[in-house]
Structure 1
Amino acid sequence: MATPTESLDTRFSDSAALPTPWSAAAERLARAEVAWIVTVRPDGRPHSTPVVPVFHDDRMYFHTGRREVKHANLQANPNVLVLVGDTEWDRGLDVMFEGTATPVTDPEALRRVADLFRARWDGRWILESADGRLETLAAPDVEIVVYEVTPTKARGHSKGEPFGQTTYRFRAERSPAPLAQEGIR
């Protein structure tokens, strides 16, 4: 994925603020233990829920059950908003990005996503790849669906002194073979 353009939104920033580099926003996304996913219900109402994420190669991965509300919402409308941050007012970096959630279906890509979760977490979020799908011992009856979200537009909100809002814009073209679409050219 190409590095996005970065621009400071002076309407919402201190006069001494500088744009926050995408590398800092990506690092914040990568260390997030929880992300909030906002989807849209078929009747237009928003739905928000926390997920355990993995951010790798500028893409967010999360999983849900096939019977979950967010899965039904994503089937009707794959557009999502991903939010990472905290409740601190005067320090830290909050990041949000818009993107399209794409189901990961390739068996090899699913294995790599399971490996990413295993490497990222301390044993609480172990996913096993079996027969072209993922499962977890924590919920063996749940049919897991893995999603990949690539940012199309993002914002970073640096908090404290100086406060600044950076907008990140990504090119429309996609880099070669994200995990969700590997094997499809």
Structure 2
Amino acid sequence: MEPNVELNADYSEPGASAVPWADVLAVLTASEMFWLSTVRRTGRPHVTPLPAIWHEDVLHFCTGDQEQKSANLLANPACVLTTGTNRLHVGLDVIVEGTAVRVTDRDRLVRLAGLWKSKLDWDFEVGDDVFHDADGRTAWVFGVAPDKVLSFGKNPYTQTRYLFS
């Protein structure tokens, strides 16, 4: 998946270039923690940190079926996942905008459970259409195929947009 890449010169240092998509993929692949932003039924925002896995051009995360973010996503699946650094002058921050879709295919869930184990050392048992943790709690798995990705480089300062058609 190769996006259309656009540098926003208004928010980038003079002479800066767009951050290559390969650099963004490296951040998405290496990052363990993301911040998921959803919207409550009242319209108020809800943000929570969680681990996520980039696999086959989709960012995957899981959440308990009784958690606030699950309720939010059932009512409005539009969401944003953010990762990067808390540093001002170094690093690359990445924002993924898209629609969360439940993953229920057993083969895909098995592959994802293996990735959670290998990357994060989290053990999940795969149920019919869910993950189960060691305590037997149910977790829904969601995938977000990006509609748009933004990256914010810090040396030099850049703002780059990646659009998927």
SS in structure 2 of the partner of residue 11 of structure 1: helix
1:174 maps to none
Aligned residues: 165
Partner of 2:20: 21
Give the Å deviation of 1:71. Answer: 0.2
Q: Could you report, residue by residue, the CA deviation over 1:103-132 in whole angstroms, capped at 9, with x for unpaired residues? A: 0111111111111211212x2x11121344
1:136 matched residue in structure 2? 133
Structure 1: 4+ residue segments shifted above 4 A: none
Normalised to the residue count of structure 1, the TM-score between the two structures is 0.86
1:164 aligns with 2:161: no
* 8 Å contact kept, 2:4–2:163: yes
* Structure 2 Cα separation of the partners of residues 106 and 97 of structure 1: 23
Counterparts of 1:133 and 1:82 in 2: how far apart (Å)? 21
Partner amino acid, structure 1, of 2:160 = T
Q: Deviations over 1:128-183 (max 9, x none)?
A: 2134431111x32x2110000110011100012x2111011110xxxxxxxxxxxx
Partner SS for 1:86: coil
**Aligned residue number for residue 56 of structure 1:** 55
Report if the CA contact (8 A) 1:92-1:158 is conserved.
yes
Q: 2:39 and 2:10 mapped to 1: Cα distance?
A: 29
1:130 partner amino acid: G
Query: Under a length normalisation based on structure 2, what TM-score does the superposition of the two structures give?
Result: 0.96
In the alignment, structure 1 segments of 5+ residues that lack a partner are 172-185
CA contact (8 A) 1:26 1:58 kept: no
Contact 2:103–2:129, Cα closer than 8 Å, also in 1: no
Match of 1:147 in 2: 142
CA distance in 2, matches of 1:53, 1:41: 21
Query: Identity of counterpart residues, as a percentage?
Result: 36
Cα distance in structure 2, aligned partners of 1:60 and 1:51: 12
In structure 1, how many angstroms separate the alpha carbons of the residues matched to 2:129 and 2:102?
13
Q: Map 1:34-183 to 2 at 5 A.
A: 34-121=33-120, 123=121, 125-137=122-134, 139-140=135-136, 142-160=137-155, 162-171=156-165
